[in-house]
A and B are shown apart, each in its own frame.
Chain A
């Protein structure tokens, strides 16, 4: 360890650097530096997670009964499948809304960019619950959308609230900020001269965008999509309050197992399955794109 340290950090001519005042142990054992963080993670994340795993295999009796029951139940599998399908749709919808915003914010910059990002951040800072209730008002039977449709002569007045459409739309709205910020982080670093070079070589704007800009922005799309997809897997309040009764997602199922059925073991098993599914996605992402790129 110490040898490596001298090799890489000290100038070749200097003698091995001496740490003054008896702090050499810090250099020899750098893990002491990250011990507090590791301890924090262990106490507040690993131990509770271990307890959930333990609950899932020990209640009501020791064994994998809860997992077997989950995978034997077409109902539970259906909820899981619906959760993934909803998350996929929400990801696509939020991408469609977020891409233009991030694009304009990144390329225009200045006041317009700051304004756009400010609006996105405002939404980002408002709680999910508040935004859910706002959507209930907007899509309600006496809300502005239905009012407008009725004024335009749509008969009979459509029902927006408590539909799959409403839930999907509202969830996409809540996750657009994540997508915009992920896209913006990548787009901001795309060199403007590339687009000008493409134009000077005769590419029309659309062609330049498709062959030069879009491919360079794809890492942002992937980051944002992964982030949005995995966040969406755990949505609870929005589908419950705005969606149709058939829209139950897996977090709602976990809540029901805890609150109404008092099946803590089954609820823990369902949570672990959700976690495993999310981890599997991360693993796939890592396999093809490299996880460290997500934070760069």
Chain B
């Protein structure tokens, strides 16, 4: 085959030489142009990245010509290291409420102003602490139906080891766990912030010996419940829903859920900041965000995203009109001054 093709149109030596030369001359320009049009996005990997690639990244590349490359997993420390070293592995990432507060304190993210994204493309309250709210996920109570016929409905139930016996697990993440502890002690969701740390830790003392493991990665939380290592767990609605969809004997409640919001942020000082803000504007557009949230059981933060979603789908989202009133939303601004002290105290409490 190859030989035939060659004999059909024999390239002369001159053709070859000039083609190679042209290619070599053009190379730096081609590569330069490409390098200017790349955006590096920090992702959670796995199904999250698949969904983001299909719904956010590829359409963005089609619309703008800017290629998106991904770096996983999400690392807060790396964000800090990048700003210190001026070497940028990623330009855009998502942060939860607590990290958003810390990132602002440590001056790690690019400041938002109206020149970055026109307010007309956003909605009231879209920007908090220089992050653009994207999607909400809930820290909920999930349990094994084969161990507990009717599961706990409140954090006070979760704390009640006599009524709901069995090993438990919570996330190794003080900003969320302290909210559980306060609600278990009778604090109303609306009055959580700022946290009463002494009261929260006293409440935690009561559950400590029954928490067998403090999980840190979401697959770990799934494994704990799937393998029956624990009977009840405080975990993300997104990863619990996956197991419910797999018909495992697992149930969850949105009662007293603690809602955390993921916000898109731009690493401070990155040379690709302009395209980074362009990407964020693109990613929170109502319909695109709706699709992305739908794939992951997130609640979209853009109110316009709910249009066109079916009632059944919306009922599984933590920010649906039905679920939201039962929940507490982490308050980034009120928590920010407490975060450092909270993290240290929790760490010491955990290993004592």
Contact = CB atoms under 8 A, between A and B. Distances in A.
Interface in B128-185: 167
Interface string B208-233: 00011110100010010001110000
- Chain B CB within 10 A, most for which of A75, A141, A246, A262: A262
A130 B220 CA distance: 14
A141 B77 contact: no
B106 interface: yes
Interface stretch (B8-16, B54-62, B191-199, B339-347): B339-347
Interface string A242-275: 0011111000000010111110100000000000
B344 A262 contact: no
Contact of B80 (A246, A248, A256, A262): A262
Contact of A141 (B220, B229, B343, B347): B229
Contacts, number: 55
B226 to A, nearest CB: 10
Interface in B305-352: 340, 343-344, 347-348, 350-352
Contacts of A75: 347-348, 351-352
Nearest to A133: B223
Interface in A189-205: none
A140 interface: yes
Contact of B216 (A140, A240, A244, A258): A240
Contacts of A141: 227-229
A256 B348 CA distance: 12
A286 B57 CA distance: 57
Nearest to A267: B77
A105 to B, nearest CB: 36
- Chain A CB within 10 A, most for which of B84, B216, B229, B352: B229
Given A159-B167, A259-B76, A262-B77, A245 B214 contact: yes
A260 B76 CA distance: 8
B99 to A, nearest CB: 9
A13 to B, nearest CB: 62
Q: At the interface, is chain A mostly helix, strand, loop or mixed?
A: helix
Interface residues of A, number: 24
Contacts of A142: 227-228
A139 B78 CA distance: 34
Contact of B347 (A140, A241, A247, A256): A256
A48 to B, nearest CB: 12
Interface string A229-248: 00000000000110011111
A245 B350 contact: yes
Interface string A50-85: 000000000000000000000000010011000000
Interface residues of B, number: 27
A176 interface: no
Contacts of A256: 347
Contact of B102 (A79, A245, A248, A262): A262
A159 B212 contact: yes
Contacts of A140: 227, 229
Contacts of A161: 213, 229
B241 interface: no
Nearest to B103: A262
A162 B106 contact: no
A244 B75 CA distance: 24
A258 B78 CA distance: 9
Contact of B351 (A245, A260, A262): A245
A136 B220 CA distance: 11
B212 A258 contact: no
Nearest to B217: A241
B108 to A, nearest CB: 8
Nearest to B346: A260
Contacts of B214: 245
A136 B211 CA distance: 17
B211 A245 contact: yes
Given A159-B212, A240-B216, A262 B106 contact: yes
A79 B227 contact: no
Interface string A133-154: 0001000111000000000000
A79 B351 contact: yes
Nearest to A55: B84
A101 B312 CA distance: 61
A240 B220 CA distance: 12
Contacts of B348: 75
Contacts of A244: 212-213
Contacts of A247: 351
B37 to A, nearest CB: 32
A265 B124 CA distance: 39
Contacts of B76: 259-260, 262
A75 B80 CA distance: 25
A247 B340 CA distance: 23
A244 B208 CA distance: 12
Contacts of B347: 75, 256, 260
B173 to A, nearest CB: 9
A259 B77 contact: yes
B80 A245 contact: no
A241 B106 CA distance: 30
Contacts of B81: 264
A261 B343 contact: yes
18 contacts: A75-B347, A75-B348, A75-B352, A162-B213, A241-B220, A244-B213, A245-B213, A245-B351, A246-B350, A246-B351, A248-B350, A259-B76, A260-B76, A260-B347, A261-B344, A262-B77, A262-B80, A262-B102
Interface of B: 75-77, 80-81, 84, 102, 106, 167, 211-214, 216, 220, 223, 227-229, 340, 343-344, 347-348, 350-352
Q: Which 5 A-B pairs have the closest CB atoms?
A: A162-B213, A258-B77, A259-B77, A75-B348, A248-B351
Given A245-B214, A260-B343, A262-B76, 6 more contacts: A75-B348, A142-B228, A162-B213, A259-B76, A262-B80, A264-B81
